[in-house]
Structure 1
Amino acid sequence: MNRILVTGKSGRMGQAVIEAVNANPDTEVASTHDAGEDLVAAMAKADTVIDFTIHSFTAELVEEALKQGTRLVIGTTGHTVEERDTIFKASKSLPIVFAPNYSVGVNTLFWLTRKAAKVLKQETFDIEVTEMHHRHKIDAPSGTARRLLEILNEETATSYEKDVKHGRFGITGARPQREIGMHTLRGGDVVGDHTVMFAADGERVELTHKASSRMTFASGAVRAAIWLADQPAGLYDMQDVLDLK
């Protein structure tokens, strides 16, 4: 039985993860944690942590996991370069799944985006990415959108810093060929919508994923926790979990 520590137990994702863990016969909620509670005691009861909280908590979580040898499934997004580096360094000693999205459907979107970018070359197709989330989301673009952009940058040999355009305003002039547009929308209770568009003269290809329940992410995170139990120290993502690489 995989004993799970669920952090952020009072949050919407925390509640969804608790439900998903309880629904799986191979996992159990060994402990939970919220801000201000005893992390050391909570982690001592668990084999694996599933974390969907806030990026500023990651360093503390990783530090304690290293002390106790606890596996980590990290779904939090919006990390700084330094915080991401903390995760990368810890993966030399711990098995960690670190993914921007744990939905099986979204990870299929990642795979399809890579394949499409190989075929629909930038010489002919302009690329635009849009994402929408609920009004309470604090980071933009979403971690999922950022991963889509990373995939597109890799396949088109473009740069996130130089070639990704976040929205447009005013007299922008003609669209540069290597530009990739990124557009963030916020409102209502949208769980998560992501679209990658390849637009050429006379045709357009759109790859879209829409999530209507947080359980898609929570169930995927539980799947990752079960998979991680048999892995050596290293940094993994859902593409590894789903054998899409």
Structure 2
Amino acid sequence: MKIALIAPDGRMGRAITESAAAAGIEIVDTGADVLVDFSAPQALRGSIDRALSENVPLLVGTTGLDEGHDQLLADASADIAVLRAPNTSLGVALLADLVTRAARILGPDEWDIEIVEAHHRHKADAPSGTALHLGLAAERGRGEDAHDELGRCGTGLSRETGEIGYAAVRGGTVAGDHDVLFLGPDERLILSHRAESRAIFARGALTAAKFLHGRDPGLYTMADVIAAE
């Protein structure tokens, strides 16, 4: 299989290139079977246009996307296979599944949900796309939208029943830490994932690219990838 990278010289582009040979995947400039984009939100439209013109699936691992970007991807998925993954780690995909299950059982009247994430000093968005993805996984489990508390500061604060709180830590070279805390009466359940290097994201991205190869048009997630493993 052959893939083309939108940003081959970026941190993730280099990590994917290093892992591709071991996965039996060739990195090419033209004639790719799958287009992989780990670049920046402003580059997304160009990536979509290229994927549509070449009629190849598109894997998007870019974070910091908004609802407008989501709509662009949804529109493109009518013609090509599109997989949007805020995090391509297979471990994080499994974590999201566990979060959904836990949220389904641990109701909002007695259990509060807080999500804490840590990343390297150069990360530009907060909360991380993965943290927000995990929050959506919790909402799916509870079957309702939650108020997002994206950062507490001040006095006289009170917590709304059912809200999901987010805290972001930045510093050093942390590849990515995520903790989902279910805080109940007299007990806590903490579901965690630790990324020790970008290699895990690269390997997951290559697994996702293999999943997309030859796939029918549609909008896919990493949950579909792990379900197919």
Q: Which amino acid aligns with 2:219?
A: L
Which of 132, 142, 166 is the matching residue for 2:150?
Answer: 166
Q: Which residue of 1 aligns with 2:57?
A: 71
Q: By how many angstroms is 1:230 displaced?
A: 3.3
Separation (CA, whole Å) in 2 of partners of 1:7 and 1:90? 17
Q: Which residue of 1 aligns with 2:77?
A: 91
Which of 14, 21, 35 is the matching residue for 1:49?
Answer: 35
Separation (CA, whole Å) in 2 of partners of 1:135 and 1:49? 28
Separation (CA, whole Å) in 2 of partners of 1:181 and 1:130? 8
Checking the alignment, whether the CA contact within 8 Å between 2:52 and 2:80 is kept in structure 1 is yes
Q: Which amino acid aligns with 1:30?
A: V
Q: Which residue of 1 aligns with 2:28?
A: 30
Q: Unaligned regions of 5+ residues in structure 1, if any?
A: 32-43
Checking the alignment, whether the CA contact within 8 Å between 1:158 and 1:178 is kept in structure 2 is no
Cα root mean square deviation, aligned: 1.6
Separation (CA, whole Å) in 1 of partners of 2:189 and 2:119? 22
SS at match of 1:184: strand
SS at match of 1:243: helix
Q: Unaligned regions of 5+ residues in structure 2, if any?
A: none
Separation (CA, whole Å) in 2 of partners of 1:173 and 1:66? 48
Checking the alignment, whether the CA contact within 8 Å between 1:134 and 1:192 is kept in structure 2 is yes
Query: Sequence identity, in percent?
Result: 38
Which of 83, 86, 92 is the matching residue for 1:106?
Answer: 92
Separation (CA, whole Å) in 1 of partners of 2:57 and 2:138? 30
When normalised by structure 1's length, the TM-score is 0.89
When normalised by structure 2's length, the TM-score is 0.95
Q: Which residue of 1 aligns with 2:136?
A: 150
Separation (CA, whole Å) in 1 of partners of 2:2 and 2:222? 20
Q: Which residue of 1 aligns with 2:45?
A: 59
Q: Which amino acid aligns with 2:26?
A: E
